[in-house]
Amino acid sequence: MSEPDPLSAIRIIAENRKGVLRDIASVVADHQANIMMIHQETFEFGPCRGLAELYVEYLGSTDQQQLITDLAAIPSVNGVRAYHPFSDIYGSRVIIIGGGAQVGQVAVGAINEADRHNIRGERISVDTIPLVGEQTLALAVDAVSRLPRASILVLAGSLMGGAISDSVDRVKRAGIPVIALNMAGSVPEHADLVVTDPIQAGVFAVMHVSKRAVFDIARVRGRVF
């Protein structure tokens, strides 16, 4: 069996105008490369102010140096540079959403456990955002399924339900498991796993993401710890 094509990444600085993304995508396609992720934004400060940045991750057995040369030849492109893909640098992402104090405690467990795995060569990162309000939290939970490399969600709070529970179901359908603290509201009934200790919840989340740990949420789904 042949080895899968490695994931590659490039960063492109270009003029912020119509048609630039089309021109770049056409060149990438000409090199038989398949774009797996693209992120675009406009510089608001610094020497590149007003220009656009495009970060592209792609698969394909292509000559990267020739691809860079051909992209740089596009009139609207100011510069192209190759990078390691984010999966090699930041790896899988543990997302923690909820109340500030609870988020902080879950993060303590997750960060300490991630450090134990990363020091042995893995790449697991931890993202947190403390939020309040049902609709605000529901929007944030729904957005998790759109985050690149998001691998698991931990909901850390004292009371969550309603629209948040509906968002949890959608995140689970997207293939992202959900851990919830043992809180009031309907969210614990919708989560894959309920954990009372916030530090332990963070540890469980990282253990599930890790390629070396033996913990798997699928084996304890529906349990309360």
Report residue 3's pLDDT band, with 50, 70 and 90 as the boundaries: low
CA 71 to chain centre: 27
Query: Does residue 222 register a pLDDT over 90?
Result: no
Stretch (H or E) spanning 26: helix 20-30
Strand partners, 38: 56
Q: Per residue in 179-211, pLDDT tens?
A: 999 999 999 999 999 999 999 999 999 999 988
Phi, psi of 41 (to 5 degrees): -155, 165
Report residue 1's pLDDT band, with 50, 70 and 90 as the boundaries: very low
SS3 (DSSP) at 10? strand
Contact (Cβ atoms closer than 8 angstroms) between residue 160 and residue 153: no
Q: Per residue in 11-43, pLDDT tens?
A: 999 999 899 999 999 999 999 899 999 998 999
Overall average pLDDT of the 85-103 stretch? 91
What's the confidence (pLDDT) of residue 87? 85
Evaluate if pTM is beyond 0.85: no
Other Cβ atoms within 10 Å of 140 Cβ, number? 19
Report residue 5's pLDDT band, with 50, 70 and 90 as the boundaries: low
Strands (E), the chain: 7-14, 34-42, 52-59, 77-83, 92-98, 124-130, 150-156, 178-181, 193-195
* Alpha carbons 138 and 77: distance in angstroms, whole number: 39
Instruction: Name residues whose C-beta falls within 8 Å of residue 67's C-beta, 6 or more positions apart in sequence.
Output: 10, 27, 28, 31, 33
